[in-house]
Structure 1
């Protein structure tokens, strides 16, 4: 059954953006070539906030991706770079990526905040602004 992963990251300062950008490009390339990756989108949002939506063959494929390569290397940095970060996962019958409104709804209802060194007041209860409208940038599988 297809597995959806949604992430929301807010970079806490412009000084972390160059490193964040370089790692984001590396993890996007990694996802595009990962076994079991079906589709993805990245939404650059307001105030240094970034959403990702990825679709995988199953939970195990997504876990293999996060436990290796560029993604594994950047995870410890995000604890320091971000002041808001959350993730939501679910299985679904169809193979279409959710829209950003559904991603936001499910993030608030089923998601969990990540451990951060400098969280905002909105981090723990996820009282952030909803994502802007738009399609975002596609992440297409390669190979």
Structure 2
């Protein structure tokens, strides 16, 4: 059954953006070649916030991707770079990437905060600004 993953990351300071972009390019290369990856996208939002949306053939394929390569290297850095981070996952019947509005709605209704070392006041409460 197709599996969807959506993440939302807000970079807490301008000084982290260059390194974040380098890691983003590395993980984009990795995901494009990852077994089980079907489709995906990256959406820059306001205030140094970035959304990812990926579609996989299974949850296992997505887990294999996030625990290896460039993604595995980037994850600990994001804990320092971000003051807000969240994730939502779900199974769906069709192998079609959902739209950004659907991804945002799922994040609001089913998302959970990820670990960050310097959380904003809105992080734990999942008080997300509306996408631009």
TM-score over 0.5 (shorter chain): yes
Does 1:7 pair with 2:7? yes
Distance, in Å, in 1 between the alignment partners of 2:131 and 2:40 is 16
How much has 1:101 moved relative to structure 2? 1.4
Matches within 5 A, 1:44-123: 44-123=44-123
Is 2:10–2:48's contact at 8 Å kept on the other side of the alignment? yes
Q: TM-score, normalised by structure 2?
A: 0.98
Q: Secondary structure at the match of 2:98?
A: coil
Helix, strand or coil: the match of 1:35?
coil
Give unpaired runs (5+ residues) of structure 2.
Answer: none
> Does the 8 A contact of 1:4 with 1:54 survive in 2?
yes
Q: Counterparts of 1:131 and 1:36 in 2: how far apart (Å)?
A: 28
Residue in 1 that maps onto 2:42: 42
Shift of 1:105: 1.1
* Conserved 8 A contact 2:7-2:85: yes
What is the aligned partner in structure 2 of residue 138 from structure 1?
none
Contact kept, 8 Å, 1:100 with 1:131, in 2: the verdict is no
Q: Which runs of 4+ in 1 moved over 6 A?
A: none
Structure 1: gaps (5+ residues): 133-143
**In 1, Cα distance between the equivalents of 2:24 and 2:131?**
19
C-alpha RMSD over aligned residues: 0.7
